[in-house]
Chain A
Amino acid sequence: MTILSRHEQKEIDSWLKRYPEDRSQSALLAALSAVMHEDHYLSTEKMDAVADYLSIPKIAVYEVASFYSMYELDKKAAGKNTIAVCTNVSCMLNGSDKIVEHIEERLGIKLGETTPDGEFFFKMEEECLAACCGAPMMQLNHVYHENLTPEKVDELLDNVISKTKKMSGEEANNG
């Protein structure tokens, strides 16, 4: 019995097909992404389940999960939407500090925190995402947004919030 959801298993299975049978570890990155997609973070239990599912040592999963910054290991990170502002050299020179400050003020949280309603997680530190020509930039739910200004950020966040409201409204109506 695995605690992986059916969707997660299906996703992992589809990746497993692309690699030789004795190389199941190759599907690890994709497997962890599938879990991230559902839970927004990687719990030890889910990582263990992935290890068992792929028949690889648990520590091999921990190593990969703790290496890549696209995976979050802290439950605090389990916000519905992830904001990651690049603060590397190019973005910093183009005012990423202001963008960070603006988001912190707007959401009332600091870097590395999640809003009390669990809607937004503001990622602690994002390395260069190779979009320097559009600095300052951020990732909002893994989508690139470049040439940011506080106004543009507000617009993006408003969009996300109204979408969420609409969805929960629909759910309420349907219910």
Chain B
Amino acid sequence: MSDKIKIIINDQELEVTAGKMLIEITDEVGIHIPRFCYHKKLSVAANCRMCLVEVEKAPKPMPACATPVNEGMRVWTRSEKALSAQKDTMEFLLINHPLDCPICDQGGECELQDLSMGFGGSSSSYQEIKRVVVDKDIGELVSTEMTRCIQCTRCVRFGEEVAGMREMGATGRGDRMEIGTFVEKSLSSELSGNIIDICPVGALTAKPSRYSARAWEMLQSPSIAPHDCVGSSVNLHTFKNMLTRVVAGENESINECWISDRDRFSYQGVSAVDRVKSPMIKQNGIWKNVDWNEALEAVAEKLKTVRKDDVNVLASSQATLEELYLLQKSLRGIGVNNIDHRLRQTDFNDQESMGLFPWLGMTIPEIEQQDAILLVGSNVRKEQPMINHRIRSAVIKNNAKVMCVNPFEVDFNYNIESQSISSPADMLLTLATIAKASISLSKTKPPTGLAELLKSVRVNGDAKVIAENLKSASNAVVFLGGLSVQNPNYSVLRALAAVISENTDATLGYLAESANTVGAWLAGVVPHRLEAGNISEEVGKNTAEMLATSSKVYLLLDVEPEFACDNPQQAQKAMDEANCVISISPFASDKMLSNADIILPSACYSETSGTYVNIEGKWQSFRAAAKSFENARPAWKILRVLGNKLGVRGFDYVSSSDVRDELQIACDSVSGVNNAFEVIGRYSVSKPAEDSVDDKNCLYRIGEVAEFCGDSLQRRATALQKSDLKQECIQLSSTEIQRLSLQQVEDGSVNVNVNVEQGGENISLPLLVNNLIPDGCVYIASGTQASSVLGSAFGNITINREKTV
């Protein structure tokens, strides 16, 4: 591969790698060749013919994207022959392209517009009628105007090669060929929005931001995406201080040039109707707008006067590192230790054995080099779309064997070696068999704490194969995902995963929920650790303890308890019984207005400077793209003033980077990150309540966080919400529907409602057949409006047949 050859482009002598395409070379050295169908991340199609260049001894111009370089090759990219070929191609491309640039969203940032200016002629020989293509609705996110399509097929290739599911295609032939889905259907890929970025014309544009601003009127600010643990690069576009759209940024080592739909369209939440305009205090049940000083005085007063153990602090791990650090520093400064960000976790038995932070165990590109990957409790495609993209690359480029232990079958977009499915309660048994197999494979002894559990299971063939696959791979990894963290036996799953990784020489890695989960650990927003992982002398209460028994004061940093916590009923009860709830949040829903007593309006991620630490441990800082909404303030500034009002020392920061630098210095002294830990102590297994086992209507709920309900911003992004109607459905397998004698429904239809009861609350939701759900379980996503009155996301739930119509 490293063979170097000499070629001459436009009389410039170059030493280049043999076998590369001409266009790759010219891009590298900065010689511009016009193109539409070529995209560096997609296969070569060579169908637009725009990149024709003159090559010595070739009788006709050659497409630069499909012409490999050869020793001694001479190329002219701007000779008369090349330019005339490009000009003629442009004339052909424009034959059927409408002249509707003034009303086209792509106008001003259109590759066709730009290249026709640079390489096209000023008139056309074509006098006949242009063709028209009838549009089809392909969902809430992407708007189509297929008459504008020049059939470069980038979107088609993207679907096949990157998204891993072909949804777009070229139907018909000749002058009647059309790009589309053929039948009317919504795109279902979690990466579908990227076809907007790669479409060189205005055929595919962003539906939510359609007609809202012209390209040249918007300001672009680079930022970091807030909705998963990788921290993709994004560009925020603002128009008149309004966040108008988000497009992908480039960062080869993180997101290459793609972003998830979640990161692209969540921005709509920034202009939600329930943004808070001013600090508010509730007096005798009536909300009153107050100035910042009065509000912060009231908060400080409240925090100073109560017993410190009565103060509970819950923070979103989507908050910036600076916010989380100042929150921790100010509250710990007055002696509050009840502080946590692990809102959906319920099993905290092993928190002491956690490393500095949950770490991926490698860099993101290194995922592609893995030969065997075991996913433990992860619907990775929906949870972490960019990680899933890397795993897919590992499968395709590296023939990686991907195996998973999950509570339901996941619809992967690549070939899977095996899926071990068991109900959430039995997941640990499945994992234990694999652990046992790995122990016998490496002929070691089981850790005493797990001996009893491991004794109770028998190794089967499947488990053996999984352990062998991991052991025989030169690069293997065991990833713990979100469905593990939410599992009532998370500590046991984690210990078993550690046993497996140790005995198979696999890396242990975590796929954390949020953009700044790692940052929250580093900032010390956990009850047992201070900043930079320093051990706290006093161990405070964790989330479960804070919500299990009600307490006097709750301080919430961008937390909506009914959506963000594992058990909404329990969280609501805690809020009801508290005598003061303080919320620092950009939003105030009706629920929040009834729960809270003081509301401090904070800025959204696009309105504040800050830092996210991604799952690799990479610190990425960003600046505000727009001013804060009305009288809201960046939360780090709110907390800076609060720290001063509480009389805590060292709150003289001028900018958010001062805060970051202080923490960075503290973190620099900490030695390397390591996920490995010794499995010591006794592990107890918690089981679902026995009393309901006999009830045939009682099922185990799988309460995965709905794809677009992970945080307050996404829940307010209207297009995303409309694009996933399945999230508010009760999903059961057809055998389970039959067993419960519920009315059978057809695949995909949602016209039968089923009533369920959990913790005394009843809700009715449409029934959806999903045969990927195991028997004995029912899938009801958490984080949704409907499930915000239910109990634990993973626990027993009863089907109410009498109330079901």
Contacts and interface: CB of A to CB of B under 8 A. Distances in A.
B580 to A, nearest CB: 56
Contacts of B183: 44, 58, 62
Interface of A: 44, 57-60, 62-63, 66-67
A50 to B, nearest CB: 14
Interface string B733-751: 0000000000000000000
Given A57-B165, A57-B166, A62-B182, 8 more contacts: A57-B169, A59-B166, A59-B171, A62-B169, A63-B182, A66-B173, A67-B171, A67-B172
Contacts of A67: 171-173
B171 A62 contact: yes
Nearest to B174: A67
A127 to B, nearest CB: 10
9 contacts: A57-B167, A57-B169, A59-B167, A59-B169, A59-B171, A59-B181, A62-B183, A66-B171, A67-B173
B176 to A, nearest CB: 9
A159 B261 CA distance: 61
A58 B172 CA distance: 15
Q: Which 8 A-B pairs have the closest CB atoms?
A: A59-B169, A62-B182, A57-B166, A66-B171, A63-B169, A67-B173, A66-B172, A59-B166
Between B169, B172, B173, B183, the greatest number of chain A beta carbons within 10 A of the residue's beta carbon is seen for: B169
B168 interface: yes
A80 to B, nearest CB: 27
B170 interface: yes
Interface string B129-166: 00000000000000000000000000000000000011
A67 B177 CA distance: 8
Contacts of A44: 183
Nearest to B185: A58
Contacts of B181: 59
Output the residue of A59, A60, A63, A67 with the most chain B CB within 10 A. A59
A59 B168 contact: yes
A63 B165 CA distance: 15
B540 to A, nearest CB: 52
Contacts of A60: 166, 169
Nearest to B176: A66
Main SS of chain A's interface residues? helix
Contacts of B171: 59, 62-63, 66-67
A29 B167 CA distance: 20
Nearest to A56: B166
A22 to B, nearest CB: 11
Nearest to A48: B183
Contacts of A58: 183
A125 B182 CA distance: 22
B537 to A, nearest CB: 59
B173 A59 contact: no
A58 B167 CA distance: 8
B47 to A, nearest CB: 15
A70 to B, nearest CB: 12
A57 B182 CA distance: 12
A66 B183 CA distance: 12
B112 to A, nearest CB: 24
A24 to B, nearest CB: 14
Nearest to B156: A59
B182 A66 contact: yes
Nearest to B182: A62
A21 to B, nearest CB: 14
Interface in B167-205: 167-173, 181-183
Contacts of A63: 169-171, 182
A101 to B, nearest CB: 26
Contacts of B169: 57, 59-60, 62-63
B555 to A, nearest CB: 50
Contacts of B170: 63
A3 B172 CA distance: 25
A63 B168 CA distance: 10
A51 B214 CA distance: 42
Contacts of B167: 57, 59
A63 B167 CA distance: 11
A143 to B, nearest CB: 25
A40 B172 CA distance: 19
Contacts of A57: 165-167, 169
B172 A59 contact: no
A66 B172 CA distance: 5
B122 to A, nearest CB: 36
A140 B539 CA distance: 87
Nearest to B167: A59
B104 to A, nearest CB: 26
B787 to A, nearest CB: 32
A88 B253 CA distance: 57
Nearest to B165: A57
A44 B183 CA distance: 8
A67 to B, nearest CB: 5
B160 to A, nearest CB: 8
Interface in B477-525: none
B71 to A, nearest CB: 36
Nearest to A57: B166
A63 B166 CA distance: 12
A60 B156 CA distance: 11
Contacts of B165: 57
Contacts of A59: 166-169, 171, 181-182
B759 to A, nearest CB: 39
Nearest to A66: B171
A44 B181 CA distance: 12
A44 B171 CA distance: 14
A52 to B, nearest CB: 12
